[in-house]
Amino acid sequence: MPGTTKANATTGPVAYINARLLDPATGLDAHGALVTDGELIADVGAKLFTESPPAGVDIVDCQGKCLAPGLVDMRVQLREPGEEHKETIASGSRAASAGGVTAMICLPNTDPVIDDVSGLEFIARRAREVKLTKVFCYAAATKSLKGKELTEVGLLSGMGAVGFTDGTRPLSDPVVLRRALSYARTFGTVFIQHPEDSTLARDGAMTEGETSMRLGLSGIPAVAEVIQIDRDLHLVELTGGRYHVAHISTAAGIDSIRRAKVRGLNVTCDTAPPYFALNENAIGDFRTFAKLSPPLRVEEDRLAVIEGLADGTIDAIASDHAPQDQDAKRVPFAQAEPGASALETLLPVSLSLYQNGHMSLLDVMKRLTCAPADVVGLPLGRLAKAAPADLVLFDPDAPGVIDADALVSKSKNTPFDGLPVQGKVLRTVVAGRTVFEAA
């Protein structure tokens, strides 16, 4: 994606004028202006600078384009420490900046696993050194992600962990999960589950059905998702803990979350762009870039994900950024590692929900900004006085084609390569600093 990153741009007062202001948290969609001063928003409104901006303020003319809170990506694998050949905090932050992401939350499935205070401190220190996108961190729910012994939930919460998860592994033991949910309630944090029954999914390469049979690939039945969710929801009801389902992908799983919300359970969920923009046919003839976890589903499930986003059952959209190197993808499909490089494709692919008439622009942006921030309790994703000056300026109608080779991320494994899209990030601002500007 063409453009430049700027890690050390100045942070003096800046007036963004002639902007279409989008604030999903308040429903604001109006022509106006916004002023940043240092790391915070100093003022914002439709009637700001009706004549001219004050002297001594840097001016950015938005030319009628959309100015919104920066994207808050609640599910990212940065691969550092341990797999820096796939991604680093620096390269991931550059990719995020190019994609309009101003805050991201990384999973703890690194090497070593982020299951103690030193792991959290490492991520925080590296993010401060890189000084681009804000980086937050989940802590592992169980030590070494083994699903047996809980980590120090209270201590890690106090040291900045915004939630607890075993990352790409489901927490399967009901006794351990019950304790995790109880601790989550006690310390006011959230448990995030990878919704997949590990026994049913064992050795599966793609979703089970006619396509998997035709390709001769072992299948993962769609019920593996809802079985895990339904089991967990009983424990949520028992404990009163906060429970979040990551990358939900099936109609049955969405229906379970919908019913749980009606019953008043403290549950939320997110999905990722592949699950509303693609189906299993994207695999084609063993296209490993389309091997994901959970796998791409049938068309009926894709449509159910869109419906779940439109009616609010699905709270947020996350990139589910899982970069892989060529050695992990240029192998037979069954042996390929799942995952996609997704930070830079998050906004343009999500905007297809607006372009295709499924959701309003404000509703799409809500799923990308204040909604994920609210799930993990971060005061981000809003255009308001004294709010963090984390912004994205974008053109929702600019045509383009996703080019894997042009991605800023170290890894280029995207299932969207060659996909025509509308939507281009023009500028990304973090804490008042311009960290990306399109060429």
List CB contacts of 343: < 8 A, sequence separation 6 or more. Answer: 73, 76, 92, 95, 96, 98, 99, 101, 104, 319, 321, 409
Quickly list DSSP for 345-387. Answer: THHHHHTHHHHTTSS-HHHHHHHHTHHHHHHHT-S-S---TTS
- Measured CA to CA, the distance from residue 48 to residue 203 in angstroms comes to 58
Both structure tokens of 184: 């989550």
Residue 199 Cα distances to 145, 223, 227, 231, angstroms: 17, 12, 11, 14
Max Cα-Cα span within the chain? 68
- Which among 73, 270, 320, 417 is annotated as catalytic? 320
The residues pairing with 76 across neighbouring beta strands, listed in sequence order, are 106, 321
Which of 91, 99, 127 minimizes the C-alpha distance to 392? Answer: 99
Catalytic residue at 320?
A: yes
Q: Please answer whether residues 110 and 423 qualify as being in contact, where contact means their C-beta atoms are separated by less than 8 angstroms.
A: no
Half-sphere exposure of 434 (CA within 13 A, CB side): 19
Give catalytic residues, as residue numbers: 320
